[in-house]
Amino acid sequence: MTQWIANLSQWSEVLNHPGIRWPLTTLYVLVLLLIAFYGLHRYLLVLIYFRHRHKTPKTPALLPQTWPAVTVQLPMFNEGNVAARIIDAACHLQYPADQLQIQVVDDSTDTSSQIAQDRCAYWQNRGVNIQYLHRPHRTGFKAGALRDAMDSATGEIFAIFDADFVPPADFLTQTVPHFTDPTIGMVQARWGHLNRDDSMLTKAQAVFLDGHFLIEHAARSLSDRWMNFNGTAGLWRRQAIDDAGGWEDDTLTEDMDLSYRSQLAGWKFIFLPDVVCPAELPPEINAFKAQQHRWTKGGIQTGRKLLGRIFRSDNNWKIKSEAFFHLTGMGVYVYITLLALLFFPAFYVNMQPFESGTIPAMLWGLTLFALGTASAGTFYVASQQVQGRSVIKTFFQLPILMSLGIGIALNNARGVLEALLGQQSEFVRTPKYNTTDNTAKKPIACPSIKRWMSYLEIAMGCYCLACTIIALGQPRGMISVPFLLLFAAGYFTVGISSLRGQCRSQNQVEIKALPV
């Protein structure tokens, strides 16, 4: 082992060549500063939230004299496991029957279309105003389906639920009254988690989403910054959609795109943290990765499309700056990947702006740690604290959260680069499992996740593990060992779990293909 490390040290002469050292140093410092820059923004969101939390909106005491017409839209694509559940939940919503329309907007190409159609017929026979709309194509994907359904919609307000959500019966009576304010264009509820405690993966996802809703959304909404509709568990005023130009399908996050266009048109949005709509978290790593890739790529696509218009608008600096952080923040996954790739040369080149071991170098390192690493911990701990969950328990979960965030960095960095390069891809739905029903079929296949990505993640895990071994052989490298192990664990966990899921999926396909 000692000889192996000694042989590797021969790289020192090569890497310290001025033509290599200074570009590496410049890149390394830039990556660290960018990570710290976005980490500082996390601190700012936490500060904004606690400064404005007393403004949390409540349901207006004065209810509408005449309840507005509401159309509930349920977009679906091959949702056989959950189609009946969401249709039943929508039909149980409490609202004046003569003012409520339900649309099942179905692009399915498998037997789930029959399940949805049969369930709609069941409720139609019981007097519910429910409409089944089936398209024989997926033009525009979800955005196209919602756009086409508007032609036969009767509502002034649209409530949209993805198929894995289960809205509570009083959802509309808690949210619709906020539209008595004529300036409100969209109302977003908080996502709950039906299967939060099923596994470490679902527990981690729950904390990620809690941070997004309870800190990020709340901070933006309460401080009059712009926020976005999350594609589900929210309501739109028809006029706000029309004024924005309607649903468009040139990004993978049609919800974020419409949100910013609507706010550019002058409409206001509000977030209701006390109104919770439970949903299913992807219980399988490939489903989670597909979802994250779509959200990441779509966010960057929206930024490319709209940031110029936002900066040229007459809105104030806090709206513009927050929009910048929101629509470029996904780039952090690229910076994390670059940081990992720079671990090896960092052992042989002092890529810090200060001499190693000096007080300025220590202060530099502590500052970067506080901004780049501790900021994420503060953000997620705060999201659990505000809902009464154990801060101590969350603190001990942080290594798992950070490891998972690192593990999916390659997958999401691919999404960022595809968006920046203008590479288009189809809207890949997140598989729905219906984890609350033990009799439901549990799909594993997720065709958007390529096997080569799993191999690359495992290779990155091996690389980080090798860097850990090198660090153990260097006195000044010991301090980096915990971080290197965190990176290695993240890449190995995500890569190996993905590969196992893909192999299981392939075996299922092969078994089904066998002649009977």
Distance CA 494, CA 491 (A): 5
DSSP 203-230: HHHHHHHHIIIIIIIHHHHHTT------
Whole-Å CA distances, 225 to 15, 267, 268, 308? 46, 12, 10, 17
> Which residues, other chains included, contact 485 with Cβ-Cβ below 8 Å and sequence gap of 6+?
464, 468
CA distances from 1 to 6, 11, 489 (A): 9, 16, 22
Neighbour tally for 218: CB within 10 Å:
26
Cα–Cα distance between 254 and 230 in angstroms, integer?
9
With CA atoms as reference, report the closest residue to 171 among 296, 274, 300, 65.
274
Is 255 noted as a catalytic residue in this protein? Answer: yes
- Residues 42 and 500: their CA atoms lie apart, in Å, by 34
Contacts of 23 (CB under 8 A, 6+ apart): none
Active-site pick, 106, 107, 210, 257: 107
Cα angle: 493, vertex 497, 498; to 5 degrees: 115
Q: Is 107 a catalytic residue?
A: yes
CA distances from 440 to 82, 133, 208 (A): 9, 25, 27
Cβ neighbours of residue 214 under 8 Å, at least 6 residues apart? Answer: 49, 190, 273, 382, 383, 386, 387
User: Which helix H or strand E contains 268, and what residues bound it?
Assistant: strand 268-279
Active-site option among 106, 164, 255, 257: 255
Residue among 80, 81, 121, 79 nearest 102 (CA): 121
Phi-psi region of 155 (alpha: psi -120 to 50; beta: other; left: phi over 0): beta
| Contacts for 514 with CB less than 8 Å, ≥ 6 apart | none
- Distance between CA atoms of residues 298 and 292, nearest Å: 10
Active site residues: 107, 255
